[in-house]
Every structure is written in C-alpha cells, then in structure tokens.
Amino acid sequence: MTTNLKQALKTHFGFDNFRSKLQEDVVKAVQRGDRDVFVCMPTGAGKSLCYQLPAVLAEGITLVISPLIALIQDQVDHLKELNIPACSINSKLPVSERRLILADLGSSNPKLKLLYITPEMVASPAFQPCLMDLCSRGLLSYLAVDEAHCVSQWGHDFRPDYLKLGELRARLQGVPCLALTATAPKNVQEDIIQSLRLSSPLSFLTPVFRSNLHYDVIFRELLPNPYVHLCAFIKKTLSLGGGSNGQGCGIVYCRTREGCETVAHQLTKLGVVAKPYHAGLKATDRTGVQNEWMQGKVLVIVATISFGMGVDKANVRFVAHWNLAKSLASYYQESGRAGRDGLPSACRTYYSPRDKEQINFLIRQEVARKQEKRGFAKDTDKTAMTDFEAMVSFCEQEGCRHATISKFFGNTAPNCAGACDYCRNPKLVRAQLERAATLSTKIGAAQSSEPKGAFGFQPDTYGGGKKGYGFERYDEGEGYSEDDPFKRKKEFSELFKKQMSMRKGNDSSQREEFVPPDIDCPLREASSQRIPKLSVK
Ligand code: ADP
C-alpha cells in the first residue's frame, strides 16, 4: 500500500515523499476509513494533504469544512492547478456556477473530488438535501473538518456555527470524519472530539517534547542584578555557536515597548549588542532590525511578541522571556523558536510575581471590558485566565518543565533526561522556590489583605518600565489591540497604581540579596538521537 500511496503522492501532488511519518500514518488511517481521526499538528506540517490524498483516491466526494472563504479559495485554486477536481459553494459564487456544481453532485457519477464549504453554508436548508442525498447514495467518502479548534469554546477562534457540525456528523452515518487542528491544549482537543461527536477517534498528536531544548526558570527578584545575569546567560548560550549556520543568535521577549528599549540598552551597556523590536518603531526600522538579525549582523533581538510570526531561523540558541508569557500555549510557541536546527538550545523565563500580578490584572480588565461591551459573560472569558494560570504553574510548581508542557498538550510525560532545571537538580529548584516564598512571606506580612498568589513581592524596577509601573499595553497580543492603547495604558496604569498603593510595607530595604543556585543553562550534548516517539492513542 505504501508504494501505491507514494506513487499517488507523486502523481497527484508532485511530492516524492511524505513530509513525516506522522503525515503518512494519518493518510493511511483516513484511507482505512474504519475509525474517525483526530489530528493535532503544527501549522505548516502538511495537514491538508492528510485528507486531500485519500480524497483523490476515493470513489466519491470529500466534504471539507473550513472557516474562511479566503482560505477555501486558496486551497481550491491550488488543487485546480494540480488538476484535481475541487470547488467550493459559498455565498459569493454566482448562481449559474452553483447550479452547475449541484447538477454534478446530483449526477450518478460526480466528477468532483473535494467540495469545500463554510459551516454556515453547510447548515443552510438549500444544501442539506443535496448532502443527505450524496450520503444515502454512498457517494460521500469523508467529512474533513479543518481548523477544528473553531468548534471549541476554549479555542481562540470559537465560531458558533461550528457547533452545529456535531449534529451534521451524527446524521452522516457511516461517513468517516477527520478533524484537524494546529497544536492545541488538551482541554481544546477534548472539546473538539466531544463537540464533533467523533466516535473513539484515532488521535495523532505531534509530540511536543523537543529534547534539544533546555527549560529553566529564574526568579528575577532574587537576583542581585538581573541584567548581569541575563547577560551571562546570553554569552554562555551564544558561545555554543550556530552549527553549520555560523554564529548562534537569540531572542529576549519583553512584554512592553519600554521593556524592550531598557533591556536592549542594558545588555549593550554590559557588552552584548542587542537591538529592540516593537510596534512603536517605524515599520522600516523594524524591518531593518529583523533583517540584521536574520543575516546574523545583530545576534540578540529584544522584542515584544509581535516578533517571531513566520520567522524561521535555524540557529536560535536561546529564547529568554524577561516577562511572563500570557499563556503556556504562547510560551511553548515562542520558546519553540529556539533550536530548530536540533542543536542544544536554552529556553529561560525570568519569572517575577510582579509580572504575574500585572498580567493577571490586565487579563481581568480585558475580560471585564469585553463583557461590558457585549453586555453578558461568556464561558470563553475563563479561557484567558486558565491559560495564564497554566503558565504561572509552570514557573511556580516543582516538577519537570517538559512534563508540564507535554501534559498541557495532552501528551504523556517525556523522558526529560536532564533537559530542564528540575530534572537536573530538583534540590536547587526547590531552594529557589523556598527562598522566594520566604521573602514573599516577610513582605506579605506587612501588606494588605488583598488576595494574591503564592508569591507577592514588592514592585521593583526590573519590570521593564522607565516610569512608575512601566505599564505599556500588553503589546501586540491578540485581543489586546482593539482600542487606543495609550488611553488604556493610562487607565491601567492609574488603576494598578491605586491597587498597589493600597499595600503597605513596600520598603525595598526588606529585599535581601539572594544568589540563586547555579542553574545557568547546563546544556547537554546534542541529543538528536533521541527522536521523540509518535503518540497515537
Ligand atoms: P498545515 O495545514 O498543516 O498548516 P499545509 O497543508 O498548508 O499545512 O501544508 C504546508 C505546506 O507543505 C504546503 O505548501 C504543502 O504543499 C506542503 N506539503 C504538504 N505535504 C508535503 C509533502 N509530503 N512534501 C512536501 N511538501 C508538502
């Protein structure tokens, strides 16, 4: 079968090989057709081919549900270029063309192989009879639900019309269903399977564990001089080099524009040339910095999360988070920009409970603002908070960092083998946590009874802001750019100041210096021999 599949892959799509064993396994599972299939693979991994190849080889028609007409058009154009009979029925289609398609679908031997449609259109009374007719004549080969996270109320792109697909799926008796999504947290995966009523599906999850990445967390407030610490970390990781790609390079992520400016300035002062990158720069300057970094002229970029989308650089030796990421899913994505060449690389978070309070505050404000705008609360409002809590737990809990990430994405705990600070030396990580808790208790005792997390340090000057609390907007994070950031900046800043001023005992003399354990990126030798195993449930 493999030879035939490979031949078909070459004949119809022009590819010599499957992109990965996972892609090949999914295609085979779909083609067998005895089970529903659930696929969770990163963007660009080649998910579309997982249903397109079986669709071309099947007798009947594959119905593909996709959320956006623009996405659909792209796919259909691409398939047409490959001479694969594909089309879409959508509201923009002229009536004459729609009639032609419906006539083909109604014929005894339809020519179409793939029919793309939005969830809104598939639910329309005009299309339903045609669909049920195809199904009853045994001409519906597969139902593919692309961007399936849209079905989940926990997903970032929730679309109510996707919810109706569960009903549709139940009515299409005997038609195997394939749901595809990019890497998603476990709760989203479970929600997709339940909402689409997939019956004991075969799940194909890309393993999230990357053994060449070393994860660690350093409590920023425990450091005598965080900038010096960051600088030493950068020098150490850059000294590892960039393999065959020349020198290595790295990214420091900051939450705010001022943070980027300050950290870049401090690093440069300490002898590591670093350039800031954020939305406050002119577009040409931003492109200039990005190009310099891509070409290896500048090795360290200090950026907000607006940097990185679509940036594919092999020799990134480190990704440091100077501020906490807004969710564990974002953190995995951002830190995952390190080590794409498979060589040992370091992912470090400089954790600060002050960050936690700020982001917590921001998310709550944002949710309240959205609720006020729409006039009611939604279950999805909880998502941002739970995702952020997972990030905080990653930093504050004892345990393997890789296992925490893997569990979050529904994978089993990997064999970390020293690829995180905890697995290398749990005692040192515990010592850091205990030290942080002691310091927090001392300060906390003098503070108000306002609820706070496990650690509650006093405000410091390392949050990245030049003035006061340095409260920039949560920069380019999705959902945080809807209105005037400067108006909100002021509003947030004032509210936050008010909140903090309610506390007493912010005397910085109470802060003791603490030199954290030496968990300075003890990178292992390249461990590419340990290829992560495919996880199939
Ligand atoms: P995803 O949906 O997972 O984001 P796509 O299906 O859009 O990814 O595929 C990403 C790119 O990979 C496309 O350009 C596609 O043509 C290409 N691709 C898919 N499978 C293969 C393969 N087996 N060999 C080479 N390129 C492939």
Exposed / middle / buried, residue 373 (Cβ in 10 Å: 0-12, 13-18, 19+): exposed
**Closest-lying ligand 1 atom to the alpha carbon of residue 42:** 3
Question: Each residue of 134-163: b (16+ CB within 10 Å) or e?
Answer: bbeeebbbbbbbbbbbbbbbbbbebbebbb
Decide: 255 and 361 in contact? Cβ < 8 Å: no
**Closest-lying ligand 1 atom to the alpha carbon of residue 41:** 3
**Closest-lying ligand 1 atom to the alpha carbon of residue 16:** 24
| Tokens linked to 347 | 């992912």
Q: Calculate the CA dihedral of residues 292, 293, 299, 304 and round it to 10 degrees.
A: 120
- Taking the chain (537 residues) in runs of 10, the rounded mean pLDDT of each run is 85 96 96 95 89 96 92 93 95 87 91 94 86 93 93 70 87 93 87 91 92 94 92 92 81 95 97 95 93 94 85 89 92 91 94 89 82 67 81 95 94 93 93 85 51 39 34 31 37 47 40 42 43 35
Q: How far apart are alpha carbons 496 and 490 in whole angstroms?
A: 10
| Nearest residue by C-alpha to atom 2 in ligand 1 | 47
| Nearest residue by C-alpha to atom 20 in ligand 1 | 46
Apex 479 CA angle, 473 and 482, nearest 5: 70
Apex 144 CA angle, 384 and 37, nearest 5: 80
> What is the pTM for the complete model shown?
0.73
Please give the pLDDT value at position 140: 96
Decide: 26 and 37 in contact? Cβ < 8 Å: yes
Q: Minimal CA–CA distance to 324: which of 193, 219, 397?
A: 219
- For ligand 1, is residue 522 a contact (CB within 6 Å)? no
Exposed / middle / buried, residue 209 (Cβ in 10 Å: 0-12, 13-18, 19+): buried
Decide: 514 and 222 in contact? Cβ < 8 Å: yes
Report how far ligand 1's centroid is from the alpha carbon of 28 (Å). 17
Please give the pLDDT value at position 532: 35
Decide: 431 and 452 in contact? Cβ < 8 Å: no
Contacts of 54 (CB under 8 A, 6+ apart): 27, 30, 31, 62, 141, 142
Pairing of the two strands 535-536 and 61-65 = unpaired
Sole residue written with tokens 């047409």 = 80
Q: How many CA atoms lie within 13 A of 207 on its CB side?
A: 19
Q: Calculate the CA dihedral of residues 13, 19, 22, 26 and round it to 10 degrees.
A: -10
Decide: 324 and 433 in contact? Cβ < 8 Å: no
- For ligand 1, is residue 318 a contact (CB within 6 Å)? no
Q: Give me the interface pTM, i.e. the ipTM.
A: 0.99
Please give the pLDDT value at position 464: 38
Please give the pLDDT value at position 115: 97
Please give the pLDDT value at position 467: 31
If one residue of 6, 11, 12, 15 were mutated to test the ligand 1 pocket, choosing by the most ligand atoms within 8 A of its CB, it would be 15
- For ligand 1, is residue 51 a contact (CB within 6 Å)? no
How many residues make up the chain in this entry? Answer: 537
User: What sign does the dihedral 79-80-85-89 (CA atoms) show?
Assistant: positive
| Phi, psi angles (nearest 5°) of residue 181 | -150, 160
104: alpha, beta or left, given left = phi > 0 and alpha = psi -120 to 50? alpha
Report how far ligand 1's centroid is from the alpha carbon of 45 (Å). 6
Q: Minimal CA–CA distance to 147: which of 300, 39, 299?
A: 39
- For ligand 1, is residue 18 a contact (CB within 6 Å)? yes
Q: How far apart are alpha carbons 331 and 95 in whole angstroms?
A: 47
Decide: 36 and 201 in contact? Cβ < 8 Å: yes
- For ligand 1, is residue 45 a contact (CB within 6 Å)? yes
Partners of 316 in the β-ladder: 249
Q: Minimal CA–CA distance to 54: which of 160, 141, 147?
A: 141
- For ligand 1, is residue 48 a contact (CB within 6 Å)? yes
Please give the pLDDT value at position 378: 62
Partners of 39 in the β-ladder: 180, 204
- For ligand 1, is residue 181 a contact (CB within 6 Å)? no
| Nearest residue by C-alpha to atom 22 in ligand 1 | 19
Report how far ligand 1's centroid is from the alpha carbon of 537 (Å). 24
Please give the pLDDT value at position 204: 95
Report how far ligand 1's centroid is from the alpha carbon of 206 (Å). 15
Q: How many CB atoms lie within 10 A of CB 92?
A: 7
